[in-house]
Amino acid sequence: MEKVLEAQKLELDLQIGALAHKFDIAGYKFYLVGGVVRDLLLGKLNDDIDVTTSAEPDVIVKLVSGWADAIWDQGAKFGTIGIRKNSQIIEITTHRSENYVSNSRKPSVEFSKVVEDDLSRRDFTVNSMAISIPDWELIDPFGGQVDLERKVLRTPLDPEVSFSDDPLRMLRAARFMAGYQLVPGIDLIAAVELLRDRISIVSKERVIEELKKLLKVESPTKGLLFLEQTGLLGLVIKGYNGLVSVPELAGNDSSDELALSWATLLYPIVTSGEQARVLLVDMRASNNLAKKVGRVIEATHQISSLDEATEPEVRRILFFWGDEFPESLAVLKAFKKIPSQKLLSLFTHIIESEGNRGPQSPLDGNEIMEIVGNGPIVGKAINYLNTHIFQVGLISREEAIKALEDWSSS
């Protein structure tokens, strides 16, 4: 394990060394597995620690009791026991093999005493490696280390078998291509093209989560192009029918940047923010994300419709869409539709002098009712005052009161 940095080994040993020792003296194998191994070989430390062991769930619970701060066993029937030590979450799973039926993503699980059985069921060779603890021996029956070095994306089993068993792996392939700059083999590409329709058996909730993970990687475009070229993108995002090209995206983990990525991705296939919101809700995105993306796209359409706008028009757009203005400009930039320098200067001037959302009314609803009375006239008064502010810019409370009094008496 010369490729594992000593500092990272030490950090992991502090986190799980004592636990591994408990399994070792009890006669059970204990392996780090999956992403933590992959990232160690890349010189990185993964926050997620997954372990596989020859011990069965009831034995795992006995061995971790007294060491772990918390234990949960909801996944015991699938061989998984979750624990927490200090702030670190660790999942410990009995070696297992899985058998699938053709119309379901839910496998039947059989426990095994052999770690190779467990590794064979995993998605890609770069994730099908284990490190035995305490001796730090790399277990790599499918050549994942070489694939990682050569930047090749392969499945441990025949890709048709792997993708048929769990069609979500086809989407996951896109994420690993983008996140780790891996190149898929011809057989993997052919398997996705052959089996892409099986994505329909995967729940929308799992699909949207995988797409969100893809959009969070540093440069997701490579993965999206793979989905587009294999015909899978149009099956998970309605509207990508081969006639629309995937835009260049820069991924980010923050909620605002995720909304920007979605807005950029959906902008070419929707005609309004509401259409984007409905599409994302149907895909089982959260209401907050769907609403934010919808607003960004609507703001983008509003700004792109301007030619040489006047100050009142710019104030109106900022009043309704000012919070989304930076994201909207980023979307337009992705499609090389940046507004003219004159228009950008006008937006900048008003934002700097009057605020991100332009000038706001100095009166609230109750104060307006005191001036014009109750009933439908209140809504009309609010609209009038906003329109007046769009025309003249910032006004004082006294100026707003006079404007409403003049309007209501006319």
CA angle 176, 17, 47 (to 5 degrees): 30
CATH topology assigned to domain 1-150: Beta Polymerase; domain 2 (3.30.460)
Is the CB of residue 43 less than 8 Å from the CB of residue 3?
Answer: yes
Scanning 254-310, the segments in alpha helix (DSSP H) are 255-266, 273-282, 287-304
Q: Report the alpha-carbon distance of residue 141 to residue 5 in Å, rounded.
A: 22
Question: 3-state class of 271 per DSSP?
Answer: coil
- Taking residues 191-199, report their average pLDDT: 98
Q: What pTM was estimated for this model as a whole?
A: 0.86
Give the pLDDT score at 104. 58
- At residue 99, φ and ψ (nearest 5 deg) are -125, 135
User: What pLDDT digit, counting tens, does each position of 266-311 carry?
Assistant: 999 999 999 999 999 999 999 999 999 999 999 999 998 887 778 9
Q: Report the alpha-carbon distance of residue 99 to residue 85 in Å, rounded.
A: 33
b/e per residue 288-297 (b: at least 16 CB within 10 A): ebbbbbbbbb
- 251 DSSP assignment: -
Query: What are residue 347's DSSP bridge partners?
Result: none
Give the pLDDT score at 239. 86
Give the pLDDT score at 13. 85
Q: Give residue 39's pLDDT band: very low, low, confident or very high (50, 70, 90).
A: very high
Peptide bond connecting 134 to the previous residue in cis, omega within 30 degrees of 0: yes
**Residue 38, Cβ neighbours under 10 Å: how many?**
22
Residue 306, both tokens: 């301007």
Is the CB of residue 177 less than 8 Å from the CB of residue 184?
Answer: yes
Give the pLDDT score at 100. 62
Give the pLDDT score at 84. 96
Between residues 101 and 31, the one the model is more confident about: 31
Say what the alpha-carbon torsion angle 154, 155, 158, 162 is, to the nearest 10 degrees.
-140
Element at 402 (helix H, strand E): helix 397-409
Domain ranges of the chain: 1-150, 365-409
Q: Is the pLDDT of residue 117 over 80?
A: yes
b/e per residue 60-89 (b: at least 16 CB within 10 A): bbebbeeebeeeeeeebeebbbbbebeeee
Scanning 305-362, the segments in alpha helix (DSSP H) are 311-321, 325-334, 341-354
User: What pLDDT digit, counting tens, does each position of 332-383 carry?
Assistant: 998 888 888 999 999 999 999 998 998 888 988 888 898 888 888 988 999 9
Q: Is the pLDDT of residue 1 over 60?
A: no
**108 CB contacts (<8 Å, ≥6 apart)?**
98, 99, 100
CA angle 223, 226, 232 (to 5 degrees): 110
Q: Report the alpha-carbon distance of residue 239 to residue 265 in Å, rounded.
A: 11
Is the CB of residue 141 less than 8 Å from the CB of residue 119?
Answer: yes
Between residues 210 and 109, the one the model is more confident about: 210
Q: Give residue 4's pLDDT band: very low, low, confident or very high (50, 70, 90).
A: low
